[in-house]
Amino acid sequence: MQEKDIYILGVESSCDETSFSIVKNGKIEIATATSSQIDIHKEYGGVVPEIASRNHIKNITIVLDECLQKANMKMEDVDAIAITYGPGLIGSLLIGLEAAKTLSFIYNKPLIPVHHIAGHIYANSLVKPLQFPLLAIVVSGGHTELIKMTDHYNFKKLGGTLDDAIGECYDKVARVIDLPYPGGPKIDKLATSGEATYDLPVPLRNDDYNFSFSGLKSAVINLVHNEKQRNREINKEDLAASFQKVAVESIIIKVRKAIKNENLKHIIVAGGVAASSGLREAIYNLAKELNVDVSIPPIKYCTDNAAMIASAGYYAYKDGRIADLYLNSKSTDNLC
Ligand code: KG4
Ligand code: ZN
């Protein structure tokens, strides 16, 4: 007998995107609606938590309606509701969680708690089936981790950053050369027309799977200050290219080690920095060289969105991970 199709409504509000999505069987995106606050926070050079929460409140019912309309579905047609419970900005998380709990209560639908990073990982499932064992390279504004999965919803952390996240580092570097928030995409774009002429240190070449980005960040800040003091003009394109080369190399060194040691079938990339053209190219090249399957989600699934939460929610639901209405948001939480 053919299994019944499962439709999950995903809800994501952990930072500055309010997003709802309906995904069928964890793989097929039926419809997504997202309201981004980037233009609001740009003015402040970063996300202002209180402003983010207030805008989530303003947008949340509008975005839900838009998603249902796009999908041509009603709440009654949905099987369960998957919600990002953490990590993220606590005020922002709470708005999405309260909305999800209210919908769960009114429509009597199971509530599925999803870790934000599990969501980023499962963005890949919207593109191609996951093959185990796999390595998830998680690169976002708050995380830089290598996670091994031997099955669905089975996560083992191989290593992670000892200090700053890679996305945080992109954004900081952008800020010191006066690029607006969010800096990552701007650095990535500038890097394509620059040459890596500035000498920057490659962090952590040691034997484990950990990363460190604070030294690279400080090196860029010092370089910019020194050049300014000497009244020398910074070549922004070249600095962006130099920074991106080192940041990408730091990741590649450890991924290469993991592919060689961990008997992996599939490499996937997750999180906002997966949108970096430099990182994408380097990972595709490495996978080709070491003959391992690779997938990187299209840009729309790399940054925060509810489709990835609905996809992760499907596998969590199948795994029996259902929460009650006492579920709370967590600003910090480890995936594994
Ligand atoms: O996953 P995400 O949307 O939010 C978090 O969960 O953190 O990641 C946001 C991060 C930011 O640091 C942003 O600058 C970076 O992803 N980012 C990029 C690119 N697009 C977004 N970094 C490098 N190149 C890009 N094209
Ligand atoms: Zn994210």
Q: State residue 189's pLDDT score.
A: 97
Distance 235 CA to ligand 2 centre (A): 30
Q: Tell me the best of 170, 177, 187, 335 to mutate to test the pocket of ligand 1, counting ligand atoms within 8 Å of each CB and taking the most.
A: 170
| Most distant CA pair in the chain, distance | 75
Q: State residue 1's pLDDT score.
A: 67
Indicate which residue's Cα is closest to atom 16 of ligand 1: 272
Ligand positioned closest to the Cα atom of 248: 1
Strand 266-270 to 293-295 pairing: parallel
Q: Point out the ligand 1 atom lying closest to the alpha carbon of residue 174.
A: 14
Q: Point out the ligand 1 atom lying closest to the alpha carbon of residue 166.
A: 12
**Binding-site residues, ligand 1, Cβ < 6 A:** 15, 120, 140-142, 167, 170-171, 182-185, 188, 271-273, 275-276, 303-304
Q: State residue 200's pLDDT score.
A: 95
Indicate which residue's Cα is closest to atom 24 of ligand 1: 276
Look at the pTM and tell me if it is higher than 0.75: yes
In this prediction, the residues of the chain whose per-residue pLDDT falls under 70 are: 1
What domains, with CATH codes, occur in the chain?
7-123+301-318 (3.30.420.40), 130-296 (3.30.420.40)
Spell 262-274 as b/e; 16+ CB within 10 A means b: eebebbbbbbbbb
Q: State residue 191's pLDDT score.
A: 98
Q: E-strand spans in the chain?
A: 7-12, 17-24, 28-36, 80-86, 111-115, 134-139, 144-151, 154-160, 266-270, 293-295
Distance 285 CA to ligand 2 centre (A): 25
Q: State residue 52's pLDDT score.
A: 97
Strand 7-12 to 144-151 pairing: unpaired
- Model confidence over 151-179: pLDDT tens digits? 999 999 999 999 999 999 999 999 999 99
213 and 250 Cβ atoms separated by less than 8 Å? yes
Cα 58 → chain centroid: 24
- Model confidence over 179-212: pLDDT tens digits? 998 899 999 999 999 999 999 988 778 889 999 9
Indicate which residue's Cα is closest to atom 14 of ligand 1: 184
Distance 68 CA to ligand 1 centre (A): 27
Q: Point out the ligand 1 atom lying closest to the alpha carbon of residue 120.
A: 1
Distance 164 CA to ligand 1 centre (A): 14
Distance 141 CA to ligand 2 centre (A): 7
pLDDT above 70: percentage of residues in the chain:
100
DSSP state of 94: H
Ligand positioned closest to the Cα atom of 275: 1
Q: Tell me the best of 42, 140, 245 to mutate to test the pocket of ligand 1, counting ligand atoms within 8 Å of each CB and taking the most.
A: 140
Distance 302 CA to ligand 2 centre (A): 8
d(Cα 100, Cα 170) in Å, to the nearest integer?
Answer: 33
- Model confidence over 78-98: pLDDT tens digits? 999 999 999 999 999 999 999
181 and 272 Cβ atoms separated by less than 8 Å? no
- Model confidence over 320-329: pLDDT tens digits? 999 999 999 9
Distance 299 CA to ligand 1 centre (A): 10
Distance 78 CA to ligand 1 centre (A): 30
Q: State residue 202's pLDDT score.
A: 80
CA distances from 13 to 16, 96, 127 (A): 7, 5, 23
- The candidate with the shortest Cα–Cα distance to 184, out of 90, 258, 279, is 279
d(Cα 307, Cα 74) in Å, to the nearest integer?
Answer: 17
Ligand positioned closest to the Cα atom of 47: 1
82 and 313 Cβ atoms separated by less than 8 Å? yes
Give the position of tokens 């010191």: 176
Token pair of 67 as six digits: 């998603």
Indicate which residue's Cα is closest to atom 5 of ligand 1: 141
Q: Point out the ligand 1 atom lying closest to the alpha carbon of residue 14.
A: 6
Q: State residue 160's pLDDT score.
A: 96
